[in-house]
Structures are given as structure tokens and as C-alpha cells.
Amino acid sequence: MKFNLLSKAKKALVNHEGAKAYAMSPEMELYTTVVTWSLNDSFYEKDEDRLKRLRTLIGKCNPVFVGKLAVYARTKMYMRSVPLVLVTELAKIHSGDDLIARVTDKVINRADEITELLACYQQLNQRSGPKKLNKLSKQLQKGLSAAFNKFDEYQFAKYNRPAEIKLRDALFLVHPKAKDELQQLLFNKIVNGSLQTPYTWETELSGLGQLSFDSEEAKFEAFKVKWEELIDSGKLGYMAMLRNLRNIMEAGVSYQHIQKVCSILSSAEQVVKAKQFPFRYLSAYRELLNIEAEPQGRSLVEKVSRLLLNGNMGYTGEVLEALEKAVQVSAANIKGFNFNTRVLLACDVSGSMQQPIFAKSKMLLYDIGLMLAMLLQSRCKNVQVGMFGDKWKTIAVPRNNILGNVQEFYKREGEVGYATNGYLVIKDLLNRRVEMDKVMLFTDCQLWNNMGNNDHIQSLWIQYKQKVAPDAKLYLFDLRGYGQAPLQLQQYEVYLIAGWSDKIFEVLDALDKGGSAITEIQKTEL
């Protein structure tokens, strides 16, 4: 007897909290795994475990899809490291065409990503010793060669930093073909170490820091002048300006320079071009809110100098307003909402959401959910917003105050506890018979029920659809990508979106038009 046997019961899928969960397709799981990964341990999953899961999923997916996902993650989701991991892992198992070369060229958007990819290749292939990068994938080498033709001397010099693998090493390994005589001269400079030192805020401030000054006041004045010079030069990039807002304010730059900074930060063109994660604005916003009159760690002379020279605290409100305008630009293209669209936004504030998104980051996963929810809320006319933990609670906030709203929620997260009772969101709508068109949960998808009853979000959603709102849609914004869903996707109009970029709203629009995250990725050109 080989066939007519008693079948073994199939083990039910559960999430990391032991609650009933549902499987995703390999493509969907790979997508959620990639766009929510910071290459650090998460609450439920070690970094090396996610890498193992990633490798397994790559093997289950079409190589072209994996390549498109790598490019999508780099160009749409603004990710830098994880796309390099995808390319490296795909190169291990795929050959026979130029797919790896095309993907490699597409994911390298900065000069330092050439050496970063080689370092990633070395590490993930466990290469060491003097021949650590020999037998480099030929297609990877071809893609890197094409990438060398993208950058000018300023871009190479800006990222020609001391590291284990230098641009010079990469040049010798890849042997890119110069497209003309001028580029050959540039390659020679890389070999000879004679690239012209670039004018950047890092090199300018570093050079100034190495000088000797007669007094603390003179040093303070020199840095004030240097920051003003950097602002005027146009060489202070958007991201650098955003991250150094507090330093600029504390340097005591003139009001005219503060106005210039505000103009750049709030410019719609600059916001779109800068491609910043929305939470970067929140980070800058919080830094300004936390400016102290007399910061710790400064000498008495420096503190006095600051008080004499720095009248900028009174302008903080103007800079905060510029940041608010910037994030509103991020929300401007969100589609699918009008005066009649009834929307519920629910933010998970459980313990697993109270984790840093990156190592040493002040931003929590919870902040990402709040930020994305408030971006959406600013575009909705008929909207309720709330948070869930042990309890579910709605909170009324104004529509056009995105960063301020995040702060309001942030201060109140302890009011609902730290469990993950997302089912309460749907149960409340069901009990009150409130009709919604769209219900959106911002969560790590590790929902469970700690109340000792049998309520589950899947069965409650089915009841809600049957008894209250037949046309309602449920959207899960997966912020950590653990690989399971709390509801059955694609059934009863349940959809899943993942990632930390405002570009996830393009997927939301695609869903409303009958598409999906997978179809959006498939549109990516290689």
C-alpha cells in the first residue's frame, strides 16, 4: 500500500504570536520581505533568518520578477542595501542571459554602490583572503562596467571613501571600457588617487574642524559663516539639509539663510527630486522640537556665544511649517478618495511596533505606520483615525497637520495598551453597524487576540461584509514583512501593501483599478 493511506492533518499556519495566519504566494512574500527589511534584526526575526527566507523565496520565483523587484525596491521604494542583496543572491542561481547585467546597472544609482555591491558579493559568498573577489559573476561584472560610465569626477570623488574595497579596486576588477578620452583620464585619476577633492558639506566642515581658533567665539562664528556659505553654494543637498536642520539653526545663520532653507525644503520640485522616506521629515521635525536653550556638553564660552549670536529659536516655527509643506507634497498625488469615500485608518501600537526601524535609529516601526496613516488622512474628506493595542480607540485630529498629528498620536499611544487586538477594529464597526468604504490597518501583521475569546479578524471581516458593508475593502499595510497575513488575501476584498515609502500609495491606486503590488512590480523596466 502506497497510495490509499490515512492522510496526515496539515499543520495550520500561525504567526509569531501563535495566532491563525494565512500564506502568501512566493512573489507576494518576497515583495513584503524585501521592502520592509533594514538588514537588522526585527522583533520576531533575526537578520540571518530573514536572509535564509529570502534565498528560499528567490528560488521559488521567476528570475525576471526577482530582478524587477530589485529595481523596484531601489527606484520606487528608495532602498539602497537590500536591492544589492537581491542582485547578489540572484547571481548565484541564474545565468545564461544578460538579466543580471541589466539589473545590476539599474540598481546602481550612486558611485559608492559599485563598491557596496562588491562588498555585498564578497560577504554573501563568504569570500576572504587576497582572492576574495576572484571568479566574479561575468554578468555582474558587465553590469558594474556599465555603471562606471554613469558618473563624473565629482560623483566618484564624493564617494571615494576609505573602505576595504575602494573604487580603485573595483576599477581593476571590473575593467570598464571608457566611452571617450575624457572618461579614460577620469579612470586614470581613480587609479592614481588624484581625483579632485569635491566641494561637499562634509569636506568643508571637516576641513574647518581641523583649524585652530583664537577663541570659542571665533570658532563659532567661523562655523556660522561656513553654514551660510554652504546654503548659498547650492552644494548642500536636500537630504543633508534635512538631516542638519538642527545644526543649521544652532549655528545662528541669518534669517535670510533660514528663509532660503525653508524655500528649498518646501519646494514641490525639490521634494519629488529628493526621494526621501516620509519619516525623514518626522525625524527632522522632532529634532527641532527638542532644541534646548542651552544644550548639554558645550563649554560655558560656547553657550554664551550661542546666546549672543543665535536668535534663531524664534524662527523654529517657520522651519516646522516648511517641513509640514514638504510632507504635504508627498501626499498630493494620493488618489482614490473624494468627499463621499468613507475611510477608517487604524494604527498598530503594540510592543512589536515599538522597535527601531534601523540600528541606532530613533524612528520606531510605529512611527512609520503613523506617518503613512497621517499622509493618507490629509487626503481623505470623510475619515476616522485611531490606534489599537489591548483596546481600539479613535482620535480626532485636523486634516492638514500631518507631522503635528503624528506627534499627537505618539504622545497618546499608551492609552490603548500594547497587545495586537486588531480584530477589535472590525468588531467595533460590526457592532455599531458603521459602513466604511475602505478600512486600512498599518501593522506588522502579527495580529492576535489576548482577550480569551474566539474572535478572529478573518471571520469578523466576513460578517462585516455580509451584514453591514458588502462593498467595503480592507487594506493591510505590512510594515515588517514576516511572511504571513492575518487574513486570506484577495478573498472578500482583502489586499496587502508593504513598505515605508510614500510610493506605496501608487500600489493602493493600482489595487483600486484591479491591479496589485505584483502587477506594479511587473511594470518595472529592465
Q: What is the dihedral of CA 451, 452, 455, 457, to 10 degrees?
A: 50
Distance CA 90, CA 177 (A): 25
DSSP string covering 85-152, please? HHHHHHHHH--SSSHHHHHHHHH--STHHHHHHHHHHHHHTT--STTTT-S--HHHHHHHHHHHTT--
Whole-number pLDDT of residue 304: 44
Average pLDDT of the chain? 90
Q: How far apart are CA 305 and CA 292, in angstroms?
A: 15
- Residue 506 CA, chain-centre distance (Å), reads 15
Q: What is the 3-state secondary structure (H, E, C) of 423-482?
A: HHHHHHHHHHCCCCCEEEEEECCCCCCCCCCCCCHHHHHHHHHHHCCCCCEEEEEECCCC
Q: How far apart are CA 325 and CA 321, in angstroms?
A: 6
Helix (H) or strand (E) holding 473: strand 473-478
Sorting pLDDT into bands at 50, 70 and 90, what band is 298?
A: low
521 pLDDT higher than 70:
yes
Distance between CA atoms of residues 156 and 148, nearest Å: 9
> What sign results for the dihedral spanned by CA atoms 273, 279, 282, 288?
negative
Q: Which grid cell sits at 510?
A: 493600482
Would you state the cell numbers that stand for residue 182, as one nine-digit string? 575624457
Provide the pLDDT confidence category of residue 525 given band limits of 50, 70 and 90.
very high
| Distance from C-alpha of 12 to C-alpha of 46, rounded to nearest angstrom | 23
Model confidence at 129, in pLDDT bands (50, 70, 90)?
Answer: low
The secondary structure element, H or E, covering residue 478 is strand 473-478
Confidence of residue 314 (pLDDT cuts 50, 70, 90): confident
pLDDT value at residue 53: 96
**pLDDT by residue (tens digit) across 177-234?**
999 999 999 999 999 999 998 888 888 888 888 888 888 888 888 999 999 999 999 8
Contact 500, 494 (CB under 8 A): no
Task: Give residue-wise pLDDT tens across range 82-118.
Answer: 999 999 999 999 999 999 999 999 999 999 999 999 9
Would you state the pLDDT for residue 141?
Answer: 93
d(CA 204, CA 254): 19
Residue type, 458: Q
For the chain, give percent helix, strand, coil, nearest 5: 50, 10, 40
What's residue 495's pLDDT? 96
Assigned C-alpha cell, 91: 547571481
The more confidently predicted of residues 456 and 490 is 456
Instruction: Reduce the DSSP state of residue 127 to 3 states and report it.
Output: coil
Lowest model confidence (mean pLDDT) among 9-13, 237-241, 340-344, 394-398:
9-13
Categorise residue 477: left if φ over 0, alpha if ψ from -120 to 50, beta otherwise. Answer: beta
In SS3 terms, 382-419 reads as EEEEEEECCCEEECCCCCCCHHHHHHHHHHHHHHHCCC
The Cα 162–Cα 281 span in angstroms is 30
Per-residue pLDDT, 153: 95
Coil, strand or helix: which one is 266? helix
Whole-number pLDDT of residue 130: 52
In one-letter notation, the amino acid at residue 217 is: E
Band the pLDDT of 480: cuts 50, 70, 90: very high
pLDDT at 361 over 70: yes
- All three cell numbers of 367, joined, read 512611527
pLDDT at 335: 85
**356-389: b (≥16 Cβ within 10 Å) or e:** ebeeeeebbbbbbbbbbbbbbbbbbeebbbbbbb
CA 427 to CA 365: how far, in whole Å?
25
Higher pLDDT, 323 or 299: 323
**Predicted local distance difference test score (pLDDT) of residue 77:** 93
Q: Which of 313, 315, 310, 378 is nearest to 343 (CA)?
A: 378
Measured CA angle at 83 (ends 155, 61), to 5 deg: 150
Residue pointed to by grid coordinates 497637520: 401
Rounded Cα–Cα distance for residues 104 and 140 (Å): 6
pLDDT greater at residue 304 or residue 78: 78
Count CA within 13 A, CB hemisphere, residue 279: 21
How far apart are alpha carbons 235 and 240 in whole angstroms? Answer: 10
pLDDT at 110: 95
Q: Would you state the pLDDT for residue 126? A: 82
Return the percentage of the chain with pLDDT > 90, whole number: 70
Strand, helix or coil for residue 85 = helix
Does the pLDDT of residue 50 top 90, yes or no?
Answer: yes
Judge contact between 108 and 127, C-beta under 8 A. Answer: no
The C-alpha cell at 266 is 518646501
**What mean pLDDT comes out for the span 271-279?**
91
Dist CA 84 CA 402 (whole Å) = 33
* Paired strand residues for 392: 388
Strand partners, 489: none
Per-residue confidence (pLDDT) for residue 305, from 0 to 100: 46
Answer yes or no: are the C-beta atoms of 62 and 68 closer than 8 Å.
no
User: 414, 356, 366, 364: which is closest to 390 by C-alpha?
Assistant: 414
pLDDT(301) > 90: no
Contact by Cβ (8 Å): 424, 396: no
Size (the chain), residues:
526
Question: All 3 cell numbers of residue 70?
Answer: 530589485
Containing 52, the helix (H) or strand (E) segment is helix 47-60
The model's pTM is: 0.90
CA 2 to chain centre: 51
Among 493, 515, 371, smallest CA distance to 439 is for: 493
